[in-house]
Every structure is written in C-alpha cells, then in structure tokens.
Structure 1
Amino acid sequence: MAVLVPVAPLATIPKKLGVRQYSGYAAGDAANNLAFSMASSFLLLYYTNVVGLSAAAIGTMFLLIRFWDALADLFAGRAVDAKKPGRLGKFRPFIVWFAVPLLLSSMAIFSAHTFFPGMSDTQALVYAYVSYAVMGTLYSLVNIPYGSIAPAMTQVPTERAKLASWRVWGSNITILMLSFVVAPQIKKFVGDPEGLQRSLFVTTAIFVVVGAALYLYTVTSIKEQVQRDVGAPTLRQSFGTLGKNKPLMWLCAGSLAFLTGLTALSTLAAYYAIYVLKDAQYIAWNAVAQAVGTFLIASFIPKIVRSFGKRNGYIALGLVGVVAGAGLAYSPPVTPMLAVLSFFLLGIGMGGVNTMMWALEADTVEYGEWKTGIRTEGTTYALFSFTRKMGQALGGAAGAFALGVVAFDSLAAKAGTPQSPDTVQGIQLASGLLTAGFILLSLLIMFFYPLTDKVFRQIVGEIRARRAEREGAEVIKPATEA
C-alpha cells in the first residue's frame, strides 16, 4: 500500500507586497523621469528658444534618435534576459551600473551652450544628436530592467495594478515638480537665452544628486519573487516567446498609437501655455491639473480592474482622453480655466490608460510563459518599450513638425517677440486634435485585445499546475506496517 506525501515547493512562497516595495518601485520611475520627462517636455523648447535651432531640425532629430532608442530597448531587453541571477537578481544590477551615467547624460543635453558657448548651428545640431542618443541608450539600460522587474515581483493581479498605480504616481510627482521648477525659469528668462542656459545647468546638476538617491532607494526596496524555470534563456528562446505572444502584439499596437498622442501633447504643452494661453506659468498649472487627474484615477485603478477588467477600463478611460483633447483644441483661450479643466480630464483619461498599460504588459509575460514554458520579462518588456519609443518618436516628431506646419518662428521666440495669430491657432488645434485622434486609434485597436482577466487567471493556474507536476509536488512513499 502507498500513501501520497506532499513535498515542499522548490521556490519560496512569494511575500505579499507592502508599502516599502510599492514606494521603492515608484521612486524608480520618479528618478527615470528626471531624465525622460525633462527631455520630452522641455528639450524642443530649449533648442528653439535657447540654442536657436529650427523646430523642424529638432523634430527630425527626435524621429531618428528615438528610433535608435527603440532598438536600444531590444538590446537592453536581451541583455537582461541573458544575465544569470546574482545577489541582486537579474534586474537591479543594471540600475546600479547605469543610473548615475543616465542622470549625467540628461544634464549634458541641456548644457550645449555651457560646455560649448561659441557653437555654430551645425555644431549645435551635432551636439544635440550625440548627447540625446547617449542619453537614450543609457535610459534603455536603466528603464528596461526597471520595468521588467514588475512581473517578477508578483503574479497577483491587484498587486500588479497597485505597482502600476504607484509607478504612475512616482512619474507624475516628478513631472509636476519639473513644471514648477522649470516653468518659472522659462518665464523669468524670456528673451534671455544665456540666463535660461545657466539656470537649466544648475537645475539638471541638482537632479543628478536627487535621482541617485531615488535609484538607491529603489534598489534596496524591491526584488523579484516569481519562480523561473530557466534562469538565462537563449536568444532563440527569448525571441521565440514573442512570435507566439498575440496579446503582446495587440498591446504594442495600441501602445504605439497611444504614445504618439501622449508625446505630441508633451512636446506641445509648453508652447500651448506660452503662446495660446499667453502665460508660461500655465505650464505649471496645466501640469498640476493633469497630475491631479492622474493621481485621482490611479487610486481607483485596482478597483476598476476588479470591477471591469483591464481592457474595458482602458477603453473607458481612453474615451475621457478623447473628450479632453477636443476640449484643448476648441476651448477659447480667453477662458484659460477651460484648458486647465481639459488637462485635468487628460490626467484622468491618459493617466488611467497609461497605468493600465503597465499592468497589461506584466500579464503578457505569463502568456508567453504559458505558450513556450520560458519567462522572458526582459525581452517582453523591451518589445513593449520598443513600440512605446516608436510612439514617442512619432509623437515628438509630429509635435515638432506641427510647429513647422503652422509657421512657428524660432528666431522670434529666441528674441521674445510674439508669434502670428494663425500660428497660435495652429498650435492650439495641433495640441488637441493630434492627442484625441491617436488616443481614439489606440482604443479601436485595444477593442480586439484577447487576454482578458478571466483568461489570465486560467493561464496562471495552468502554469502553476505544470510546474507542480514537473517538480513532483506529490511523491509516492511506501507506508510502514504496524
């Protein structure tokens, strides 16, 4: 006669995430955005109003360098998957190695006239290309492992939703801070590019210190807990999971459209405040309104996920963003509070969608593991980030090219003289309609997204059952006779 004797699982049982893990994860994206959002929000303005380059030239740079950044994401994702777990796991060593160089490179891109005050336009453009490409590469080497660790921290849907919410809180705190720190500098130094250059140099130097402290807190607060059967998958295994991961492909397509709209708005937001609302201080007030909307909706994301599911929540929140984009395009500039209200609604709509995206991406890791037996957090996140970067490239270029289409005059901007009424109206329409149109396209794509929450739960259950069977969760042991 034989009896079944349970055997303890080989891996430790994942611990429930607490405030330290959530806040540590939030700190990482707060630090990331000291580089990323500073560039996406103010780099175009810096090169048109301080250095004096044309918007079209910088728009082309955005398109080309962000395409390079997207390729760098794939390289970084493969590097993450290929690394064998060590004392700090697979992901955190990359943050330790590349965080400070990233922050220093962010400082460098806003220091063209500090380091080389006598540059010609051609030399300045070369400096912009090189410094921005270096920063983008380093950002990939930090952000890909940072983003990849989320699905390795927990498989609980509500905990993943909370991680996504805390991540959005971290990034939006930084975006809000940037608006209040940089907007007064822009307003103070209108028509004084040398003064603005000195101010931005000091500001970005301070960000190096603040960012390093935030990254240190991240590294000491988070770690991966989800068991993996293959520690360092081969290149063929990593990319093999992508071809069979249909939900990831749908998510990437939706993300491409969404990020195009989001980045176009980020690129034009400062111009909207300065030239449409005619007060640079609205850079800060609009950012406050958007951040408040994002903070508000992020608090409800776990509840929305439980009640409606991620895909349905994504679509509903995106519709709010479409309405807000239309409000930006058509609200009368003489009533700036309507624009502020539109930015608040954008915070709810676009902030909510962006939060859902991070939770959805984590779920696609399990789908790939279910189809192939291989967990590839790095490559999966890298492909997702690749398409986001392509959206950022297209959105940044679209925003810059839109300025060219509406005949924005960078020489007049550098001298502090007004733009023509037609140019101002064009900036308003481009800001709202580019945003609304690309969000709507994203929603149409995500309507067909196949990985619902019910399917996800079934997949996780099957993965655990397979693992238990392989490890011999139950073994037959002969019974002793009395």
Structure 2
Amino acid sequence: MLFSVLVFCVPAEWSHSNKVIYAYLTYMGLGFCYSMVNIPYGSLATAMTQEPRSRARLGAARSIAASLTFVCLAFLIGPRITHSSPTEMASVYLFWTIILAIAGMALYFICFKSTRENVVRIVAQPSLKISLQTLKQNRPLMMLCTGALCILISTFAVSASSLFYVRYVLNDTALFSVIVLVQMLVGSVASAPLVPRLVAKIGKKNTFLAGALMGTLGYLLFFYMSDHSVPVALTALAIAAIGQGITMTVMWALEADTVEYGEYLTGVRIEGLTYSLFSFTRKCGQAIGGSIPAFILGLSGYIANQTQTPEVITGIRMSISLIPCGFMLLAFIIIWFYPLTDNKFKEIVQEIDKRKQSQQQLIKDFNK
C-alpha cells in the first residue's frame, strides 16, 4: 500500500530524468510487493478448504468483489479526471490512492484475522527441486494453465478492441461505457453467483465447459450481429460475457484442486508455486490478448482518426468477436480432456486423508 502511494508522489521540482527513474523504481517496488501479497492470497482458497462448493464460493466472491471494485473506481475517479489538467489529475490520483491504501490496509487486516488454513501438510517445507518435480508431473495443472491462457487471451482481446469497435464500427463512442458495463457487470457480477450452484449440480469441469461453450456461441452470434442491430449485438455480447465470467470464476476452484493432485502424486503440497505458475500464465494471456487488436489493425491498414477501409472494419469485428470465439472454443477442447473430475478429486482427497492418518498413527506409535 505504501508503494501505491509513492508511485503518485513524484517530487515536482525534480528533473525529467530523475522523475523517470523514480517512476521505474517505485512501480517496480509496487509490482514486487503486489506479487508478494497476491500469490499467498491467491493460494488461500486451497489451504482453507477441500470442499468443492466452498472453493467455488470463494472464487465467486473474489470475482464479484474485483469486478465491483473496478466499476466503482471507474465511476468515482473517471468523472474527476475527464476535464482535469495534468496537475489536477496528479492531485486526484494521489488523493484517491491514499484513501484506497487506507481502506486496503483495513481489509488486509480483516482478511488476516478472519481466515484460517485448515488443510494439513504431510511435507512441511519441500525443497525447490522437489517442488519443481511435483509441478512438472501435474498434468491437470498444465492443461488448466493452457485453458486459462486461452480464456484470458479471449477476454483481453475483447477489452482492447472495444473502443475501436464503438468508434469505427458503431460510430458512437458513447456506447463504450455500455460495452464495459456489459462485460464487467453482466459478465462477472451476474455470472459469479451462478457458479457455486452449477458446481453443486454438474461439477467444476462441466461448469467450465458450459461457460466456454456459452462464450463461444455468444461471440459467434456477436460477429454476425456486430454491424447490424446494436441491441441484438449487445445481447450476444452479454451471453458471451456470462459464459466467459463463468469460466473465469470456476477456474479458481479448478486451480485449487490441482494442488491436491500434485500432493496425491508426490506427497508434496505446493500451493504457492502452483498458484504462481497459474498466475504467470494468466498474465501472459492478458498480454497476448491485449496485443491482438494492434497486430490485426496493423495488418489491415489502420490509420488513426480517419474513416476506415472495409478491411479495417472487418479486422476490428474479428478482433472483438471471431478471435475471442476461437480461443474460447480452444479452451473448451482443452478442458474437455481435463482428467480431474469431481469424483476423481473426491478419491484423491480420501487417499490423502488416509495417508495423513497413517502418518499420524506412526508418529503416535513411535512416541509410545
């Protein structure tokens, strides 16, 4: 939280080069501290419970809270910087960053005091070599990371294409906020509460598959409607966003299950390293997805602030619909072969519990 504030506390009297160095150092510090917090935080669900529906609820709570925060910040800060000068904008950012840092510290304290790690480890502190070997053998984790990569590419391709779509295809930039609301509120907030119920009825894997299929069909319909009827196009986008939101939410529960699978194979439980790989894969998906529109627009001959050619319009429509559709379909195919079903997971947890009980009994017998 301290680095969040420091990023926006650039001394005004410094030279430009010193300001740039300061910005690099403070932002690197922010990124480092964020990773130090986010990795154990993201691993908490795995350590708190092994019950599938509880993990789905934790994932849903995370998705809803993140989406609502994003939307609230857009409405709180956005209007205050729209017509601000650079100096005024810096003051606005600093003020709100301080407020949010204070709120964040309070929330971190509440999280620290109210959460408990209930899952017992067999091997308390495995070496890095053993941890990497465990990671290498975890086939479900590798498949999930690949599926998550596809989902994140799809998500961020849509986000990066939205402004081009409303400006050059719909010719109405006022619709940009509508598209963002459809993606964030409908996609995450509306879909996340459905996930625990779906998991209870059809399981985590099938919930992911249902969401991926829904997203695929929604984006396909969006492509055919994206330059015709705006209401129908937005409805198709909402369908795709709900499907995408379901996959984004349930993948947190799936990631937690892969920790037990690794423990089942090797006896080593590595929540942190598992989540680190999963998080890194997601970041790669964000970067690739965000760059896709720029790549396609460059190939199609895009020139900013001009009337675009039919080739550019087609490229924009593909970036916001067909390409996300293709990656959603690829994620569906990958997870179709995902071996860790709910029944298999129950068997794994039961086997791990038997091993722990046997180990505890051996310790008791040894101490007699």
Scaled by the length of structure 2, the TM-score of the pair is 0.84
Q: Residues 390, 332 of structure 1: CA spacing in aligned structure 2 closer, same or farther, 3 A cutoff?
A: closer
Matched residue, 2:178? 285
**Which stretch of the first structure deviates more once superposed, 314-323 or 176-185?**
176-185
User: What is the alpha-carbon distance in structure 2 between the residues aligned to residue 440 and residue 127 of structure 1?
Assistant: 44
Matched residue, 2:336? 447
Would you say 1:265 and 2:154 are equivalent positions? no
User: What is the alpha-carbon distance in structure 1 between the residues aligned to residue 92 and residue 233 of structure 2?
Assistant: 28
Matched residue, 1:363? 257
Matched residue, 1:469? 358
Q: Is the 8 A contact 1:317 1:348 kept in 2?
A: yes
Matched residue, 1:138? 33
Q: Partner of 1:149: helix, strand, or coil? A: helix
Q: Residues 272, 218 of structure 1: CA spacing in aligned structure 2 closer, same or farther, 3 A cutoff?
A: farther
Q: Is the 8 A contact 1:183 1:280 kept in 2?
A: no
Q: Is the 8 A contact 1:180 1:284 kept in 2?
A: no
Q: Residues 284, 185 of structure 1: CA spacing in aligned structure 2 closer, same or farther, 3 A cutoff?
A: farther
Q: Is the 8 A contact 2:5 2:94 kept in 1?
A: no
Describe how 1:29-428 pairs up with structure 2 within 5 A: 100-101=1-2, 103-104=4-5, 108=8, 133-181=28-76, 184=79, 188-189=82-83, 200=93, 202-290=95-183, 291-332=185-226, 335-406=229-300, 418-422=305-309, 423=312, 426-428=315-317
User: What is the alpha-carbon distance in structure 2 between the residues aligned to residue 305 and residue 127 of structure 1?
Assistant: 47
Shift of 1:172: 1.2
User: What is the alpha-carbon distance in structure 2 between the residues aligned to residue 115 and residue 324 of structure 1?
Assistant: 49
Q: Residues 399, 421 of structure 1: CA spacing in aligned structure 2 closer, same or farther, 3 A cutoff?
A: closer
1:360-412 CA distance string (max 9 Å, x none)? 01001111111111111001111111211221221222244345445555xx6
Matched AA of 2:282 = R
Q: Partner of 1:298: helix, strand, or coil? A: coil
RMSD: 3.4
Q: Partner of 1:223: helix, strand, or coil? A: coil
Q: Residues 223, 454 of structure 1: CA spacing in aligned structure 2 closer, same or farther, 3 A cutoff?
A: same
Shift of 1:427: 3.0
Shift of 1:152: 0.3
Aligned residues with identical type, % of pairs: 39
Equivalent residue pairs, number: 361
Q: Partner of 2:191: helix, strand, or coil? A: helix
**Which stretch of the first structure deviates more once superposed, 299-308 or 359-368?**
299-308
1:185-235 CA distance string (max 9 Å, x none)? 67x449x77776665555445433343333333223222111112222211
Q: Residues 403, 208 of structure 1: CA spacing in aligned structure 2 closer, same or farther, 3 A cutoff?
A: farther
Q: Residues 380, 472 of structure 1: CA spacing in aligned structure 2 closer, same or farther, 3 A cutoff?
A: same
**Which stretch of the first structure deviates more once superposed, 421-430 or 142-151?**
421-430
Matched AA of 2:225 = S
Q: Partner of 1:472: helix, strand, or coil? A: helix
User: What is the alpha-carbon distance in structure 1 between the residues aligned to residue 61 and residue 103 of structure 2?
Assistant: 19
The structure, 1 or 2, with the larger RCO (C-alpha pairs under 8 Å, 6+ apart) is 1
Matched residue, 1:50? none
Q: Is the 8 A contact 1:287 1:343 kept in 2?
A: no
User: What is the alpha-carbon distance in structure 2 between the residues aligned to residue 309 and residue 130 of structure 1?
Assistant: 45
Matched AA of 1:175 = F
Q: Residues 198, 400 of structure 1: CA spacing in aligned structure 2 closer, same or farther, 3 A cutoff?
A: farther
User: What is the alpha-carbon distance in structure 2 between the residues aligned to residue 162 and residue 293 of structure 1?
Assistant: 17
Shift of 1:236: 1.6
The structure that is helix-richer by fraction is 2
**Which stretch of the first structure deviates more once superposed, 334-343 or 459-468?**
334-343
- Structure 1's unaligned 5+ residue stretches are 1-99, 413-417, 477-482
**Which stretch of the first structure deviates more once superposed, 339-348 or 327-336?**
327-336
Shift of 1:471: 1.0
Shift of 1:421: 2.7
Scaled by the length of structure 1, the TM-score of the pair is 0.66
1:323-377 CA distance string (max 9 Å, x none)? 2323444434574433432342233111100111000010011111111111110
Shift of 1:261: 1.4
Shift of 1:179: 3.5
- Structure 2's unaligned 5+ residue stretches are none
User: What is the alpha-carbon distance in structure 1 between the residues aligned to residue 301 and residue 268 of structure 2?
Assistant: 52
User: What is the alpha-carbon distance in structure 2 between the residues aligned to residue 259 and residue 180 of structure 1?
Assistant: 25
1:148-190 CA distance string (max 9 Å, x none)? 111100011111111111111111112222343455467x449
User: What is the alpha-carbon distance in structure 2 between the residues aligned to residue 211 and residue 460 of structure 1?
Assistant: 35
Matched AA of 2:291 = A
Would you say 1:436 and 2:325 are equivalent positions? yes
